[in-house]
Amino acid sequence: MTGFINSEAGAHAIYYARCYHHQGIHEAYIDVVLDDYWDPDDVADRPSPNRVTFGCRIGPIEGHPNIACSLVTGASVAPDSPLYGRKLDPDQAREHPWLTTYWETIDHILEHDETVARHFQGPTAAEHPK
């Protein structure tokens, strides 16, 4: 799925979430495109020079009882396009000054995107058949 996040200052991010089930294991890959200037007329074709895409895998990791987020290369499965700006690998992401903003955006997605939240938390009580 694709989502857009706005802040009080205007456009904030575009995200792409892919949710999977593998042998009973729930995981998701989420790419977030961040930019310090969003031109509403040229979002895809003319990004600012600072546009970057972060990526993470969310799911269980060996030896840990809960899900965790691990950095992966941003938009690695997407074709190269100006929309993504610079696709950051995990090392580049760890060094980027927007890393904290990225993790805050992931938290927001996990809390507010109903499809992603349901993927990890299961259906709500209203969705369970009686």
Mean predicted confidence (pLDDT) in 102-117: 89
**With 60 as the cut, is the pLDDT of residue 75 above it?**
yes
The C-alpha atoms of residue 28 and residue 38 are separated, in whole angstroms, by: 26
The predicted pLDDT at position 78 comes to: 92
The predicted pLDDT at position 10 comes to: 64
Contact present, 57 and 69 (Cβ < 8 Å): yes
Q: Please, what is the average pLDDT of the chain? A: 84
Banded model confidence at residue 43, pLDDT cuts 50, 70, 90: low
Q: Hey, what amino acid is at 77?
A: V
* Secondary structure of 43-84 as H, E, C letters: CCCCCCCCCEEEEEEEEECCCCCCEEEEEECCCCCCCCCHHH
Pairing of strands 2-7, 25-34: unpaired
Q: At what angle do helices 99-112 and 114-121 cross, to 10 degrees?
A: 80
List the domain boundaries for the chain. 2-127
Mean predicted confidence (pLDDT) in 48-72: 89
